[in-house]
Amino acid sequence: MAVRAQQAGSIQSQPDSAFFPSLGIFQQRLFSFYEQTPGQVLFHPSSGYSLSQLEMARSQGNWRTLQQPEKSTKYQISSTGVSQVNQFKVWGDFRYTRRQEDSVGWRLRPEQNDVSPYYLANIQPGNWDTHDYQLKGAAGVRVSDHILLVAGARLQTGTYGRYNDPRPEISRYRLRLEGGIGYSISSASLVLSGIYGYGEETNKVSYQNQMNRSEGRPTYTAQDVMGYGFYRVVTETGINLREDLKIKGAAAVVQVGNINVTYMYQQKERDYSREIPVSGDISPYSPIGDVTQNEHCLVSSYQWGKTAVQRLAGLEFQSVSVKDFNRRIIQGNNYLGTHRTATLSYDEKRPAWEYGLSLNLRRDSRKDGTAAVNYLVQTARLQAEASKRINVGGNFLQVNGQVGYRADVGSKLTIGSQYNEFMRGVVLPDFAYYSSGLLEPGMSLGYGVKVKNVLLLPTLGYQWQKPMSVKAVPGAAYQPGQSRSTYWVQLNVHL
């Protein structure tokens, strides 16, 4: 991304943040508040910055569920930035991510945290190799003293698969468009925009060893998961699943001085079907179920202070409700899910230190009528972080440290039917994992080298997860273990 020109000879005499506005946890936190929807682009606090990153991360340990990998490796290339030319302001973000994961069971889809209850699964663990591309962009212009125009798009595409029987081959395409108009008077502005999107995903499952499809090997059998406990064995000859996605919604952005309030609503219709062999005018797709996903998101931030001491307060709230209509067996509603998170944060930047403190409240409710599962996890997580920059000649060391603690605040699980394999392999381990107390310390060390108008910041980081009070779940096929470690290596390029 292009940024404003700088004199190479003056870099040594000015604070790093004056030339590299993306440097530091305070600035990155501030920028993130203004990169939620295209309606915010004209109010972005930076007139120009660029941050590119190469990253390799490795995670391993037995603190996990069966739907999560025992070991995983992530490779990521990303670039994000803002540029302003006259009255136009542009923001863009690109990310390519490759993940290699092993020992993943009970899901034949790329993400474990997808809120949709419809997907293919099997018991037998396998190894995944996924490639994901995401491209986001937004642009805004002041066409007069009072009228603003904004537009943006988000594209996700990728291929995802695993190389053990059963072998899913998944392709995905999702596009979201947004455009709107705003009005500005004095220091107050309002932008209203509409959202439209669509996409599709196809999942085709094959077996290299056809014996693994037999009834004598049930752990290899593909399952249609249609809730949170309700599933059935796929009996069709062709094992596949198609998702057709439609998105509609709206967003509103209010900017008054240094206060920004953004609200966004999206309704996602996710229709699932299976391709079957037919002839003539009969549709080749047999419906399985429809999922309606309503999302509300509120983000608010306020920045104040002088050059020496800057402060930032933030509020983020998200609510996602999920309801299905099962067309395969029940011909009605079976699943209801609600997922809510609220985060309060405070950040402070001083000449020698940066601090951050946040409180996250989470509520995750899942109800499966047919399987008689009522799952509720409620947690509170407190996190503190600090960053120190130490000059070393013309370069510097950047040391970041953080610690987080998650506590249970009233989780409960009731199952009113005899346990099936999904309950033993997914529901019970999930409850133990997500409701247990958890300690998460971590740190990173970077060394900044300035080369003319470019700052190179290679960084090493480490995070450790240690459960403090794991809940007992008798009857579970897997009990989350004792710890998990993640380390990463990054090369950050600031312009």
Is residue 356 included in any domain, yes or no? yes
| Of 344, 296, 300, the residue nearest 318 (C-alpha) | 296
Is residue 152 included in any domain, yes or no? yes
Is residue 193 included in any domain, yes or no? yes
**Domains in the chain, number:** 1
Q: pLDDT averaged over the chain?
A: 93
Please say whether the beta carbons of 1 and 495 come within 8 A.
yes
> Residues, the chain, total?
495
Please say whether the beta carbons of 469 and 430 come within 8 A.
no
Across the range 118-127, mean pLDDT stands at: 96
Is residue 32 included in any domain, yes or no? yes
Q: Is the pLDDT of residue 243 over 60?
A: yes
Is residue 3 included in any domain, yes or no? no
Which element (helix H / strand E) includes 422? helix 421-422
Assign 281 a pLDDT band (cuts: 50, 70, 90): low
The 8-class DSSP code of residue 470 comes to P
Is residue 325 included in any domain, yes or no? yes
Beta bridge partners of 13: none
Number of H helices, E strands in the chain: 4, 22
How far is C-alpha 51 from the geometric centre of its chain's CA atoms? 19
How far apart are alpha carbons 440 and 468 in whole angstroms? 10
Give the CATH number for residue 287. 2.40.170
Beta bridge partners of 321: 294, 338
Query: Which value, to the nearest 10 degrees, does the dihedral of the CA atoms of residues 326, 331, 334, 337 take?
Result: 50
Q: Is the pLDDT of residue 73 over 80?
A: yes
Contacts of 157 (CB under 8 A, 6+ apart): 133, 172, 173, 174
Q: Which two tokens stand for residue 242?
A: 């198609």
Three-state SS string across 52-87, please? Answer: EEEEEEEEEECCCCCCCCCEEEEEEEEEEEEEEECC
CA distances in angstroms from 253 to 39, 42, 44, 320, listed in the order given: 6, 11, 12, 20
How far apart are alpha carbons 239 and 220 in whole angstroms? 13
Residue 253: exposed, middle, or buried by beta-carbon count in 10 A (0-12, 13-18, 19+)?
buried
Q: Is the pLDDT of residue 15 over 70?
A: no
Residue-range definition of the domain harbouring residue 332: 8-494
Is residue 113 included in any domain, yes or no? yes
Residue 406: exposed, middle, or buried by beta-carbon count in 10 A (0-12, 13-18, 19+)?
buried
What is the reported pTM?
0.92
Q: Give residue-wise pLDDT tens across range 308-329.
A: 899 999 999 999 999 999 998 9
pLDDT of residue 53: 97
How far apart are alpha carbons 112 and 425 in whole angstroms? 14
How far is C-alpha 437 from the geometric centre of its chain's CA atoms? 22
Is residue 122 included in any domain, yes or no? yes
231-233 and 118-121 beta bridge pairing: unpaired
Please say whether the beta carbons of 178 and 184 come within 8 A.
no
Q: Give residue-wise pLDDT tens across range 194-236.
A: 999 999 999 999 999 988 888 789 899 999 999 999 999 887 7
